[in-house]
Every structure is written in C-alpha cells, then in structure tokens.
C-alpha cells in the first residue's frame, strides 16, 4: 500500500491495480458487486471518461485521503453489521414462533423477543451505515453559499400585477354586495367559541368557601366510616385521616372536607387562645389540602411535628397552627374547630373559618 | 364538658384492664428479664441511660413496650451505628432470643404495647380491600401506595415496606418509630391493622411485569424515564455520528 505518493490529492487511492484508464467504466448499480477487475469503491483519477463531468466524484480534488486498509476494514465492519441485522430478522421470526402470547408472563417474553430482535436489526443497520459513511465514503469540507432570500424587484412587481389581475377578474373589487356579504359571513365565525364558554358550567359562587363540616358533624375515619372518640385517639404522635359523617363516599365532598387529625401533648401546642379552643386535649384538626396547589399534605413527622406536602415541599408546623416553615405555600393549613359531643365522639364546632385549599381568583 | 370528661373516664376504665392483661402476658420469664438487663447494660445504656431513663443522645424507653424493642432491634435499627437524621434498617446485631430478652426487660420497666401474636398479623386472614382504603389515606403519603417508601424533611425518609415482616409492620404502627406517627389500637383496631398488613403483603405479590419496577409508579413515570434515558442515548449517538472527522481521517 502506498499512501504517500498520491500526486493529485483526489479521493482515490492508487491501489495495486494499474490505472484503469483504458477500461470503459460501466455505471455502478446499488447492490451489484464492483467490477471484477477492480476492488476500488470510488472513482479515481480517470478524467478521460467521455463527457461525464462527475466521473472523478462531485468535488474532485477536495476529499481528504484515506488509506485503502482503513477503507477495507470499514467495509468489513459495515458488512458485519448488515449480517447481524439479517440474523436479527431471523431471530424475530423465530421469536414470533417460539414465544406464544398467552398469559401476562408469556406475553412479556414474546414482547421481549420481538422488541429485542427489532432493536438489534435497526441498531445494526444504523451502525453499519455509520461505518459506511465514516470509514468508506469520501470525506470533504465543502462550503455552499446561500442565495439571498428576497426575490428580485422585477419578479415582485410582476407577481403584484398578476395578483391584482386575478382579483379583478374574480369580481371581488367589482361587486361590493358579494364582498360585503362574504365579510358578514366570516366575522361572527371568530366569535362563535364565546357562546360555547357557557358549557363550562355555572360560576362556583360560594362553593369554594364552604365545606361539608357543620356544627356537630362527627369526624369519621376515612376508609372505615367509624366515628372516633377523643379518648380512643389518645396516643401522642398519632394521626388519622377523617371526613364528615355521611360524606364518606362522596368524593366531591371529601375533595374539600378531608382533614388530618393529629394528637399532640397539649403542652406542645403554641396557639392563640382562640385557636386553643378549636383543639381538644391536644387533638388538632388541619385541612389536608395544601394551600399551595391543593395536594394532600399529610406527611406528618411526629418527631419534628412537621407536616410536609410531597408535591413542592411546603412544610407546616403542626404545633403552631400549621405555620409555613418552608416551601411555596402562602398560608397555613386551615384549622377545623373541633370538640367532643356528649358521648365523647369528636365533632366539628363549625365549618373552617377560611376557604380551604389553594388560592383562587375571588378569594380575596 | 364535665359530662364528656366523665364519659372519657368511664371509657378509660373499661379499656384499661384489657391493656393491663395484654402487658401481663409480655412480662415473660424472670430469666429473660435478667438476660435482657445484661444485654441492655452492654449495648443500649450508653445512649438510653443505665435505667432506660433516656439521655441527651437517646430517648427514655420507659413505657415504650416490647413491640418497640422488637421493631427497633429486630430490624437492626438499634443499636444505632451512628447518630443521624435516619436510623437505617441493617443486619440485626442480636438474634431472636436476645431480642426477646431485651424486649422483656424493657417491657418490665413500664408496660407498653406487646409484641403481636402470629395470628394477629397473619396477612391471609386480613381484609386487603379495607386495608387498602386505610393504607392510601393514612400510610401512602409517606410510604407510597405500593409500599415503596419516600423522602421526608431534613434527610429523613420513610422506608420501603418490601422486606418488612408483618410483625414489624404491626409494631411500627403501634409504636411510631422515629418520625412515624402512632396508630394505637383504639384508633386503628388490631383487625384493621391486620387488613393493612394484608394489603401490603398482597401488593408485594402482585406481578409487576415490564422493565424496571420503579415501585409501581406506573406507565407515565416509566415512560418518562424511557424518554430521558432513551433520548439521551440517541442524542449521544447523533453527536458521535456527526462529530467532525479529523482532517485526514
């Protein structure tokens, strides 16, 4: 192999064959073998092919040279990948036959076989092509100048005249009745969607300000529907999710009314006197709906008394009326005033004293 | 209010004998207690105090009960290797017999919840559907709806429940280890606890086909991972393919 005596710097590499100037070069067809007398894949320094301006490649004299050895190894690699792709096709058919679809697990193996072999096929074809491009095809640095984007002035004028002639011929300028009725037809079309806005439903009115908690509503455990005695919910560090009695299965109601009940030692609470009256023996009830964007904030850590919202890490201090200690929430979680009824069951004193959940337009 | 207090008093009185009986069964043999005391003095007293009264580094263990010891020691969380935000699960230091002895000693100091019986935590007899509704409203916020665990504040985390034994799940609910809240037997009854255990165990056994488990976060999240990782690889390949070749390559 002689790499250094390439005199004209063309893409071709002088091979072991003599220059084939005398031969008539037949056009190559994709997929056919190269002419038996030559192993070269690229046209070389043979400008005498009659009349064909691209006989020496599209950019004669500009390609960087590659050693024949390197090209050959590229060819072998690409061919190897193409053979692997072929074997992948065989494996695909075999996999289809071998792994029958039935229950979940059989289906899984079938999917794995089909998907896996298809992956191998596509990946091998792509890898082979990449090898081909990078190792075999000639490599140029070519600059193509871009032509200016705007059209020439006469062309523009010509188009303007053509357009106006067409408009005149259509009668758009000549018959005002036609023009105006068309505009009448088109104008409301843009406004039609406004009418459909009505389908969004009635305005929420006061619904966002109230929940289903009322004076005397029992707190029942979400999931079992059983009411809860204050004496039973007695272990400090305890939590339980409660909903209003009678609304256990009303998801629309629970979406607003759900409450996280926490039992602390009464001396741990740091509340105003009014807020203290909303608790009962260290049992404190917070809306479970985060005031940021309404995720259920219920990750209560009994060791730190933090209530964490998992969505954006808003953190509330359960001892201090759910004061925000971290995160994007703008307000504490609303407190539900609670007490016990004559039988010792936990009940609400009233509804929440402020709207629960995230801010809304008219909240004020 | 007075009436309410009176009612509470009556309820308490009605319940107390029961809890008293439960504790009585724990107190086991005197031999266990003596052995437990010996182990406690060796491995626990440096943080929890010679009489389990608690120190600056460890809380008092009086009244925490045998269940707390069974959970903390049985899962290897105690003795702690080093103090930190989270006491991780690790290989237990003590064998079953030693754990039982320690539990008997701590229970002898001041009662507390007992280690649940085998039958009390048998997932086969629990109502998994009821367990699910309780789990998703009271446990899933930290432990993920399929028991995958999750992050808390300040470096703490809620552990996954994939390996936890039914007995340890029960003990954790009733004692509230570390940051976990307490679910006492009068708020979530033993039967409901068994239902929760049944849900956790049954969820574990559900088939979870297709690639990485991702704690059953579902096809959307798995798809996101697929997109990020898969597209990353594709971009890397594209960069490689179109990389500028060396001048004389």
Cis peptide before B79 (omega within 30 of 0): yes
- Entry field: residues in chain B: 249
Hey, are the CB atoms on A237 and B181 less than 8 Å from each other?
yes
190-209 of B, contacting A, C-beta below 8 A: 192, 207, 209
| Distance of alpha carbon A250 from alpha carbon A246, whole angstroms | 8
Question: How is the beta sheet containing A238-244 ordered, strand by strand?
Answer: A219-221, A238-244, A259-263, A283-287
- Give residues with Cβ within 8 angstroms of A261, minimum separation 6: A219, A228, A233, A239, A240, A241, A242, A283, A284, A285, A346
The DSSP symbol for A132 reads I
Same domain, A114 and A216: no
- Mean pLDDT split into 10-residue runs, chain A, 364 residues: 42 43 53 52 52 76 81 95 97 93 83 94 94 87 83 93 92 90 91 86 83 93 92 92 93 93 93 93 95 93 93 94 93 95 94 92 78
| Distance of alpha carbon B77 from alpha carbon B75, whole angstroms | 6
Q: State the burial class of residue A73 (Cβ atoms within 10 Å of its Cβ: 0-12, 13-18, 19+).
A: middle
Same domain, A236 and A325: yes
Q: What was the pLDDT predicted at A33?
A: 54
3-class state of residue A346 by DSSP: strand
pLDDT digits (tens, 9 = 90+) for B67-81: 999 999 999 888 887
| Distance of alpha carbon A209 from alpha carbon A287, whole angstroms | 13
Structural domain ending residue among the three candidates A136, A164, A179? A136
Q: What CATH code is carried by the domain that includes residue A282?
A: 2.102.10.10
Quick one: which of A133, A6, A5, A19 has its CA closest to A61? A6
Residue A298 domain-assigned?
yes
Hey, are the CB atoms on B11 and A232 less than 8 Å from each other?
yes
Query: Between B37 and A86, where is the model more confident?
Result: A86
Residue A247 domain-assigned?
yes
- Give residues with Cβ within 8 angstroms of A164, minimum separation 6: none
Quick one: which of A345, A349, A314 has its CA closest to A335? A349
Same domain, A132 and A215: no
The DSSP symbol for A255 reads H
| Distance of alpha carbon A155 from alpha carbon A279, whole angstroms | 84
Same domain, A239 and A109: no
Residue A20 domain-assigned?
no
Outline where chain A has alpha helix (H): 68-98, 104-131, 153-170, 176-186, 192-196, 251-257, 273-277
Same domain, A303 and A213: yes
Hey, are the CB atoms on A64 and B248 less than 8 Å from each other?
yes
Residue A54 domain-assigned?
no
Same domain, A229 and A123: no
Q: What was the pLDDT predicted at A34?
A: 52
Same domain, A342 and A234: yes
Hey, are the CB atoms on B184 and A235 less than 8 Å from each other?
yes
Q: What was the pLDDT predicted at A140?
A: 79
From chain B, pick out residues whose CB is under 8 angstroms from the CB of A134. Answer: 241, 245, 249
Q: State the burial class of residue B26 (Cβ atoms within 10 Å of its Cβ: 0-12, 13-18, 19+).
A: buried
Exposure string of A111-137, with b = 16+ CB inside 10 Å and e = fewer, is eebbeebeebbeebbebbebbbebbbe
Q: What was the pLDDT predicted at A27?
A: 58
- C-alpha torsion angle, residues B111, B115, B120, B121 (rounded to 10): 140
Residue A340 domain-assigned?
yes
State the pLDDT confidence band at B210, using cuts at 50, 70 and 90.
Answer: low
Same domain, A224 and A114: no
Q: What was the pLDDT predicted at B49?
A: 87
Domain that residue A90 falls in: 68-136
Please check the confidence at residue B239 and state whether its pLDDT lies above 70. Answer: yes
Quick one: which of A46, A229, A332, A314 has its CA closest to B10? A229
A53, A105 in Cβ contact below 8 A?
no
Residue A192 domain-assigned?
no
Same domain, A220 and A328: yes
High-pLDDT (> 90) share of chain B, %: 27
- The beta-carbon neighbor of A222 closest among B12, B137, B186 is B137
Please check the confidence at residue B104 and state whether its pLDDT lies above 50. Answer: yes
Outline where chain B has alpha helix (H): 2-26, 30-43, 45-48, 65-74, 96-110, 128-138, 140-143, 166-175, 190-205, 219-242
Residue A334 domain-assigned?
yes
| Distance of alpha carbon B54 from alpha carbon B118, whole angstroms | 31
Q: Catalogue all structural domains in chain B, each as residue range(s) with its CATH number.
A: 8-115 (1.10.760.10), 116-206 (1.10.760.10)
Number of cross-chain residue pairs from A and B with Cβ atoms under 8 Å apart: 124
pLDDT digits (tens, 9 = 90+) for B175-208: 999 899 999 999 999 999 999 999 999 988 887 7
- Give residues with Cβ within 8 angstroms of B10, minimum separation 6: none
Structural domain ending residue among the three candidates A85, A117, A136? A136
Query: Between B50 and A289, where is the model more confident?
Result: A289
| Distance of alpha carbon A132 from alpha carbon A126, whole angstroms | 10
From chain B, pick out residues whose CB is under 8 angstroms from the CB of A64. Answer: 245, 247-249
Give the count of domains, chain A: 2
Q: What was the pLDDT predicted at A3?
A: 42
3-class state of residue B85 by DSSP: coil
Task: Choose the mutation target among B19, B136, B141 for the interface with A, i.e. most A CBs under 10 Å.
Answer: B141
| Distance of alpha carbon B199 from alpha carbon B173, whole angstroms | 14
Same domain, A131 and A214: no
Same domain, A225 and A344: yes
Q: What was the pLDDT predicted at A352?
A: 94
Hey, are the CB atoms on B153 and A326 less than 8 Å from each other?
yes
Ramachandran quadrant class, A162 (left: phi over 0; alpha: psi -120 to 50; beta: rest): alpha
Same domain, A219 and A341: yes
Ramachandran quadrant class, A268 (left: phi over 0; alpha: psi -120 to 50; beta: rest): alpha
Structural domain ending residue among the three candidates A87, A116, A136? A136
3-class state of residue A139 by DSSP: strand
Q: What was the pLDDT predicted at A137?
A: 87
Hey, are the CB atoms on B207 and A133 less than 8 Å from each other?
no
Pairing verdict, β A315-317 and B150-151: unpaired
pLDDT digits (tens, 9 = 90+) for B109-156: 888 888 888 888 898 999 999 999 999 999 999 999 888 888 999 889
Helices A68-98 and A104-131, axial angle in degrees (round to 10): 160
A338, A279 in Cβ contact below 8 A?
yes
This prediction has a pTM of 0.66
Q: Does B248 touch chain A (CB under 8 A)?
A: yes
Q: What was the pLDDT predicted at B110?
A: 83
For A261-308, what is the HEC assignment? EEECCHHHCCCCHHHHHCCECCEEEEECECCCCCCECCEEECCCCEEE
Residue A32 domain-assigned?
no
Query: Could you report the predicted ipTM of this complex, rounded to two decimals?
Result: 0.77
- The beta-carbon neighbor of A308 closest among B152, B176, B188 is B152
Hey, are the CB atoms on B184 and A301 less than 8 Å from each other?
no
């Amino acid at each position: 192999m002689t790499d250094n005596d390439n005199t004209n710097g063309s893409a071709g590499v002088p091979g072991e064959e003599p220059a084939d100037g005398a031969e008539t070069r037949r056009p190559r067809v994709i997929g056919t073998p190269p002419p038996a007398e030559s192993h070269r894949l690229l046209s070389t320094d043979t400008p005498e092919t009659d009349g064909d301006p691209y006989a020496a490649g599209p950019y004669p004299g500009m390609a960087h040279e590659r050693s024949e050895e390197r090209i050959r190894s590229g060819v072998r690699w690409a061919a190897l990948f193409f053979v692997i792709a072929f074997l992948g096709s065989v494996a695909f058919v075999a996999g289809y036959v071998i792994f029958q679809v039935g229950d979940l697990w059989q289906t899984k193996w079938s999917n794995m076989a089909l998907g896996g072999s298809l992956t191998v096929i596509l990946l091998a074809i792509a890898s082979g092509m990449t090898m081909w491009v990078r190792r075999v095809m000639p490599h140029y640095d070519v600059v193509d100048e871009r032509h200016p984007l705007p059209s020439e002035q006469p062309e523009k004028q010509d188009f303007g005249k053509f357009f106006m002639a067409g408009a005149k011929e259509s009668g758009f300028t000549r018959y005002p009745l036609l023009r105006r009725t068309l505009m009448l037809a088109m104008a409301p079309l843009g406004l039609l969607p406004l009418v459909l806005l009505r389908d969004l439903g009635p305005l929420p009115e006061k619904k966002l300000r109230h929940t289903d908690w009322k004076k005397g509503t029992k707190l029942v455990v979400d999931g079992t529907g059983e009411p809860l005695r204050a004496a039973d919910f007695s272990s400090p560090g305890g939590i339980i999710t409660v909903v209003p009695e009678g609304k256990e299965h009303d998801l629309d109601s629970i979406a607003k009314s759900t409450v996280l009940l926490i039992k602390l030692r009464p001396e741990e609470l740091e509340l105003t006197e009014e807020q203290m009256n909303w608790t009962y023996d260290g049992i404190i009830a917070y809306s479970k709906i985060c005031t940021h964007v309404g995720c259920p904030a219920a990750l209560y850590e009994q060791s730190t008394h933090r209530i964490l919202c998992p969505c954006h890490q808003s953190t509330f201090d359960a001892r201090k009326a759910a004061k925000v200690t971290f995160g994007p929430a703008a307000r504490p979680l609303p407190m539900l005033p609670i007490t016990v009824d004559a039988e010792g069951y936990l009940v609400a004193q009233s509804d929440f004293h402020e709207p629960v959940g995230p801010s809304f337009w008219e909240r004020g | 209010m007075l009436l309410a207090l009176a009612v509470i008093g009556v309820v308490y009185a009605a319940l107390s004998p029961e809890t008293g009986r439960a504790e009585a069964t724990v107190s086991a043999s005197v031999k266990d207690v003596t052995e437990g005391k010996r182990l406690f003095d060796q491995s626990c007293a440096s943080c929890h105090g010679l009489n389990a009264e608690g120190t600056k580094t460890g809380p008092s263990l009086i009244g925490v009960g045998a269940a707390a010891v069974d959970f903390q020691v049985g899962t290897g969380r105690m003795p702690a290797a080093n103090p930190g935000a989270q006491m991780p699960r690790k290989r237990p230091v003590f064998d079953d017999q030693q754990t039982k002895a320690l539990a008997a000693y701590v229970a002898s100091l001041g009662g507390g919840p007992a280690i649940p019986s085998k039958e009390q935590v048998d997932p086969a007899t629990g109502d998994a559907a009821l367990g699910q509704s309780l789990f998703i409203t009271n446990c899933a916020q930290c432990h993920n709806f399929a028991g995958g665990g999750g992050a808390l504040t300040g470096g703490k985390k809620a552990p996954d429940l994939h390996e936890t034994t039914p007995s340890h799940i029960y003990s954790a609910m009733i004692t509230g280890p570390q940051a976990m809240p307490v679910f006492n037997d009068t708020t979530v009854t033993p039967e409901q606890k068994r239902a929760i255990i049944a849900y956790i165990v049954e969820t574990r056994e559900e088939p979870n086909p297709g690639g990485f488990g991702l704690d059953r976060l579902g096809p959307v999240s798995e798809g996101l991972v697929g997109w990020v990782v898969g597209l990353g690889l594709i971009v890397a390949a594209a960069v490689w393919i179109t990389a500028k070749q060396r001048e004389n390559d």
